[in-house]
Amino acid sequence: MIPLSEAQQYVLSQCAPLPAESFPAFDALGLVTAEPIESTEQVPPFDNTAVDGYAVIAADTADAPTVLQVAGAIAAGEAPTVDVTPGTAVRIMTGAPMPAGADAVVMVENTENPDGADAVRILEGVSSGAAVRRAGEDMQPNQTVFESGTLLQPGHIGVLATLGIASISAHRRPLVGVMSTGDELVEGPQALAPGQIRDSNRHTILSLVAQAGCDTVDLGLIRDDEDAVEAALRSGAASCDALITSGGVSMGDFDFVKMVLKRIADMRWMQIAIKPAKPLAFGTLDGTPIFGLPGNPVSSMVSFELFARPGLRLMRGIPLEDAHRPRVLGTADEAMRRGPDGKTHFARVEVRWENGQAFFRSAGGQGSHQLSAMAAASGLALLPDGSGVEAGDQAELVLLHAS
């Protein structure tokens, strides 16, 4: 068996970011920048008010309450046509440019109009700069606002719009093909014949791929026929950026996928010191990465989390330090037993939070076939080789519901 870290290093070293392409900025949500993005102008472009109120000279409000003469008004989108001079104020709306002479704004809630539109009573004094948004205090020209490798979220799209940036250079989403093979697999609600099982892995993996921010291609159920398997693999490798199969990666398996991959692809077959998901195959077919995951449904999901998901995120352009799920230290709510076997166990657990601290307990049955417990799990607890953990012991947790 080989250490998990060695297997991950081998797999991830071969998952390079896809080439950069130009994308419309407003369609870039979820993409990863391929180069830094710089501001082309200052934001805000001019001094403006953060509130509705009156632009004033702050010193004129020092003895509030006090009355100032109203010299005019400025709405958002208008250029100032009047200055503020000692003893005067200008009515101003949120976002409007500050008039010359003013250095503060009194919010309208702290004013009264005792003499109609010609004067305003200032009820509370303000200091210089109050409620004023200064030009360039958010962004300056030629400032790097996003580094290369930034995963674009809604706020980033808003910044691009603010700067008037119409297109960006980003890595496209990998197109990932997922296939299942085996004459024993069926789909749909029909009654199962002896020896048949319903295919869950393909649908689970397709969902995991989509959750990882990639586009998916369902390559379907392939019958146990060497020519059909080879045709599906070659077609998938030609049209997709990566392929994922499940099953047929254990030592001694007589499986058509394994037979074909050994013949047409450059594959490495690994036995990793973890449970579940000990077996893994990884390699390339005509330059296309292939993740050969184990066939048991829980093993397939855990293997995806440890290898395929970070690999696909690297292909999206996400930096290595952000490719994996977050990990935290958690405290066991109950004992979780295991036996020594030379492997690290990834136990399926429910994670709860209390005062910012993580606690965990078993999500259910820990068999590699017990998919319902995996569905209930919000984390994986790393149980080192040994007897497990007692209630109150700590263990490292992989958070499955976090990016």
Q: Give the chain's domains with CATH numbers.
A: 4-16+173-322 (3.40.980.10), 20-43+137-171 (3.90.105.10), 48-133 (2.170.190.11), 327-399 (2.40.340.10)
Q: At 400, phi and psi to the nearest 5?
A: -80, -20
Q: Which helix (H) or strand (E) holds 246?
A: strand 242-246
The ranges of the chain with pLDDT < 50 are none
Please report, for residues 130, 139, 145, 161, the alpha-carbon distance to residue 153 in angstroms, rounded to integers and kept in the order given.
32, 18, 13, 13
Closest CA to 385 of 345, 351, 353, 326: 345
Question: Which residues, 6+ apart, have CB-to-CB distance to 29 below 8 Å?
Answer: 152, 153, 154, 157
Looking at the chain, how many residues does it have? 403
pLDDT of 28: 97
Residue 306 CA to residue 212 CA, distance in Å, equals 12
- Give the list of residues 6+ apart from residue 398 with CB closer than 8 angstroms, or none: 305, 325, 326, 327, 346, 379, 380, 382
Angle between helices 256-264 and 226-239 (to 10 degrees): 60
What are 146's strand-pairing partners? 37
Return the pLDDT at 34: 98
359-365: long-range contacts, CB 8 A cutoff, minimum separation 24: 359/330, 359/331, 359/332, 359/333, 360/330, 360/331, 360/332, 360/333, 360/395, 360/397, 361/332, 361/333, 361/334, 361/336, 362/334, 362/336
State the Cα–Cα distance between residues 311 and 207, nearest whole angstrom: 16
Query: CA 379, CA 376: separation in Å to the nearest integer?
Result: 9
Write down the pLDDT at residue 267: 95
Answer for the pair 265, 284: CB distance below 8 angstroms, yes or no.
yes
Which residue(s) pair with 217 in the sheet? 177
Q: Are the CB atoms for 377 and 348 separated by under 8 Å?
A: yes
Element (DSSP H or E) covering residue 7: helix 4-12
Q: What are the angstrom distances between the C-alpha of 2 and each of 194, 290, 310?
A: 37, 20, 19
Say how far apart CA 248 and CA 279 lie, in whole Å. 9
pTM score = 0.90
CA distance 337 to 140: 57
- The residues that bridge with 388 in the sheet, in sequence order, are 337
pLDDT at 247: 85
| Strand 197-198 to 185-186 pairing | parallel
Residue 68, C-beta contacts closer than 8 angstroms, at least 6 positions apart: 54, 56, 60, 87, 88, 89, 119, 120, 122
- β-sheet bridge partners, residue 48: 97, 133
Give CA–CA dist 236/378, Å, rounded: 32
CA 148, 154, 159 angle in degrees (round to 5)? 65
* Closest by Cα among 342, 344, 335, 338 to 387: 338
- Please tell me the number of Cα atoms within 13 Å of 21 on its side-chain side: 11
Which residue type sits at 113? N
